[in-house]
Structure 1
């Protein structure tokens, strides 16, 4: 097993550390696939043709006691916002999961997955046992996937970044990876 040295700036100090590069790649792909399956499955099971009834976030939004309960009340009390939410949550979870599994538009998927996990974390606010819970750890997984551009390892993004279209528009790499 080969090791690679990396450096980071940490509170003004330069720190160097070693990591097992081949293991890191496998781990990153495993995290991407597991989080992708988690979200793909979560979105899939909310679709009406699978669940047997349409997804409705209204009851949850109206009864949430959290730091963002006011926002949830506005969404639940505004018919078009509630309908938008009822479509976007299952579809968004499904597409985020699909993107992660395929390794396509991974940073974009990780960004929106992080947004959803932040809303879930603040919305659930189940902090009886402390502030660290599954929603916070899910948010951390999306940050890791996005920061390390996990789609560049065994993902569609590695091929997309080689296209002339992307080569001419380097800003697109912020969505890929």
Structure 2
């Protein structure tokens, strides 16, 4: 594999190229994977180890009810708050673990992006602006879906060699 090269594509009717240093790009994706995983592991642990049980009902029927996805958020707040109260802390925990160890990286990133989509668009007033931490995490998760990164110092490189993945190669789409 070349140490550096160019990536080319067609954008708005023009040919464009981008010079890439592959070793640095690979290390950067691995760093992003572990960094985002650490953020989510910490968020999940904070909720699970808090003195009071985590509950999102106040947010679903309050602030989020005024957001872009207000109807959906209110439905969850009224009909399935137990689901949200379970999914958010345990989802953050397992997404974080998956990204840190590089196991099922794209699957973890997909669920992270889904969670961040709801958190970003459930924000009623964007009091910190349209570009905020929720949007940045959403963009990072999408980046990890695209590039994976679980093969770099991660379990996905081992999982891809298993008999199951060899037999069902489409499972590689869940890996990094």
| Alpha carbons of structure 1 residues 27 and 170: separation in structure 2 relative to 1, 3 Å | same
* Structure 1 residues 106-158: Cα deviation after superposition (integer angstroms, max 9, x where no partner): 00000000000100100124434542111111011001111001101111001
Matched position secondary structure for 2:47: coil
Match of 1:10 in 2: 11
Q: How far apart are the structure 2 equivalents of 1:133 and 1:45?
A: 21
Q: How far apart are the structure 1 equivalents of 2:108 and 2:156?
A: 12
TM-score (norm 1): 0.91
Q: Does 1:115 align with 2:111?
A: no
**Aligned residues: CA RMSD:** 1.7
Q: How far apart are the structure 1 equivalents of 2:22 and 2:76?
A: 45
Which 10-residue stretch deviates more, 163-172 or 83-92?
Answer: 163-172
Matched position secondary structure for 1:77: helix
Q: How far apart are the structure 1 equivalents of 2:104 and 2:145?
A: 10
* Structure 1 residues 40-96: Cα deviation after superposition (integer angstroms, max 9, x where no partner): 11011111xx10111010111111221112211111112xx1011101110001000
Q: How far apart are the structure 2 equivalents of 1:105 and 1:118?
A: 20
Match of 1:71 in 2: 72
Matched position secondary structure for 1:76: helix
Q: How far apart are the structure 1 equivalents of 2:78 and 2:125?
A: 23
Q: How far apart are the structure 2 equivalents of 1:18 and 1:25?
A: 14
| Alpha carbons of structure 1 residues 44 and 70: separation in structure 2 relative to 1, 3 Å | same
Match of 1:132 in 2: 131
Match of 2:96 in 1: 97
Q: How far apart are the structure 2 equivalents of 1:94 and 1:126?
A: 27
Matched position secondary structure for 1:151: coil
Q: Does 1:86 align with 2:85?
A: yes
